[in-house]
Amino acid sequence: MAFSCIKLALLSISIFITIFPETSFSVDPESEDSNSTTEVILTQSSSSYTSLLQSLIRNLRFLNSSVPKPNLIVTPQNLAHIQAAITCSRKHGLQVRVRSGGHDYEGLSYVSDVPFLIIDLINLRSINIDINDESAWVQAGATLGELCYAIAKTSNMCGFPDGSCPTVGVGGHLSVVGFGTIFRKYGLAADQVIDAEMVDVNGNILNRTLMGEDLLWDIRGGGGSSFGVITAWKVKLVPVPPKVTIFNVAKTLDQGASNLFQKWQTISHKLPNELFLHSVMGVANSSSPNGGKTVVVSFTGLYLGTAENLLPLMQNNFAELGLQLNSFTEMSWIQSVLYKYRLFNQWTLGGFASEKPNIQKLQSNIRLCYRTHSCGRFGRAVEHVARREHSQHTNLILTPYGGRMSEISGSETPFPHRNGSIYGIQYLVYWDSNEETPKHIYGMRRLYSYVTPYVSKCPRAAYLNYRDLNLGVNRGSTSYEEAKSWGVKYFKFHFERLARVKAEFDPSNFFWHEQSIPPSFN
């Protein structure tokens, strides 16, 4: 019945809608593409249903046959298709999940325990660069790599504070503020948002003028899936130099990694804004005669400038790394986008559009650190879990804060954890088969618990794009007060403001998931 309803709506809407003439974004529901409902709507019996569903699932745990599947997948080719999908979902009691890139640690964009459909934005990925205005309109289904590539094709003097992975969808990245490698210079990705286009619960198409500043504020960090279907963003571009410089140094505990890590904690958030220096703690085979495992800490830097200028900066601030001029590699900004993807994720990128690693990944968690910690304690925790679980794929990714990101007020976006944090810790574990899942989840939780006394509390801080359902979940008609158990960890005092705007724009709580913003009518 829902299929018939959506099909009828797609074929019957006859109003030509033009939203932003200057961006060439227009919708004509009577076009040939709009009437091709077999390409827009996939049922579970459709020949391409399974391949499309699985194509953007990056967390392979959710490929398990026991994971609930959507009743329908809608792949809109224009805004009218989204309007129809929302209208018919409301009529027939189907929950809506919205997917742009698929990098979703908890799978909330494509998994639900109640009847649901996916609005997959895979066809909405156009990018329009206005180099004179130093801005871009990018549809939410495009990836960060596609956005960066489009910018670089237009100008080698402009860039964007993207994330560390080019296959992340623009829609999800921008709606939860978005960290990358040049945010210390220019701020977070959401800090660059100028405008947005979205379809609300009533099928209205909104831009900044129509939605107002409160809703725009909400979706720039509060998670767009709580408020509607965001279809496009207008962002400002940032200047990048002709050359950037990168380096990577890895040390084991036997090679002095503990002292280097201690030094990194004291300086990484204070370095000049042009330098991003993060560290990754993991496990490797020991070179000692006794063999076994050892902890290795990698220090990876990206500098907006030349190697000649970076060398004295590193010698003055972190001479202990022992870097020389030949330790550095110069490249263009767009080349660094590809480099960091290969380095951080350790698999080859065949193109900027999409590629899926053949691994399983646990949801990644992040906590924020307000003071320095012992590398020995972190190292023992990682090593203990790796040995217990017989895995070398346990990592802590430590991202330094500071710079321009911390200079911007915590009230500019819903992300409040700007000033006062020195770095964030992302916990990751990888494995190869579903049979190993319970063991590795247990091991990750042990590691997480082991470090808990040394990180943020009152409240414990978290970052929405590394969603963690262990913090708490909505259960049916969860109230605002009940949802505060997890909401204040992501948003602190902003959670109340998010809930008030939710009550205004989606009072029936149609856009619901396990950690969606609930409406507050206080």
Residues annotated catalytic, as ranges: 466
Structure tokens at 434: 């579903």
Q: 279 - beta bridge partners?
A: 299, 398
Alpha-carbon gap, residue 208 to 211, rounded angstroms: 5
Alpha-carbon gap, residue 237 to 350, rounded angstroms: 26
Structure tokens at 522: 């206080």
Say if residues 285 and 294 touch (Cβ distance below 8 Å): yes
Q: Count CB atoms within 10 A of the CB of residue 21.
A: 8
Structure tokens at 388: 């217990």
Output the DSSP codes for 370-396: SS---HHHHHHHHHHHHHHHT-S-EEE
129 φ, ψ (degrees, to nearest 5): -95, 130
Alpha-carbon gap, residue 452 to 440, rounded angstroms: 18
First to last CA, the chain: 38
Q: Count CB atoms within 10 A of the CB of residue 266.
A: 11
Structure tokens at 128: 């329009």
DSSP symbol at 362: P
Alpha-carbon gap, residue 166 to 169, rounded angstroms: 8
Structure tokens at 485: 């158990």
Structure tokens at 94: 């189907």
Between helices 333-345 and 144-154, what is the axis angle to 10°?
A: 160
Alpha-carbon gap, residue 264 to 375, rounded angstroms: 10
Q: Which helix (H) or strand (E) holds 99?
A: strand 95-99
Angle, CA 467 vertex, CA 464 and CA 472 arms, to 5°: 105
Q: 428 - beta bridge partners?
A: 395
